[in-house]
Amino acid sequence: METIYAYTLISAALIFGICGAGTAIAFGNLGGKLIESSARQPELAPRLQTQFFLVAGFVDVISIIGVGMAMLFIFAVPFQV
């Protein structure tokens, strides 16, 4: 039974790490593309910024779902027999 708890905590830690790293990479790419495209066509900057915030919300939602799953694994332990 202890191994189930140990593997559950390890998987939760991996989920936290992957969600954090994935979100950081996505925001870096997204921000870089926003700056690049705003520099190429400054007249489209307000529209691009709106789309940036919309996509940033989607990126955050994906990581929040992962964190919620990790919290479920930590506190509810669905693999308990």
Q: What residues are labeled active site? A: 60
**Main-chain phi, psi angles of 78, to 5 degrees:** -70, -10
Half-sphere exposure of 16 (CA within 13 A, CB side): 11
Alpha helices in the chain (DSSP H): 2-40, 45-75
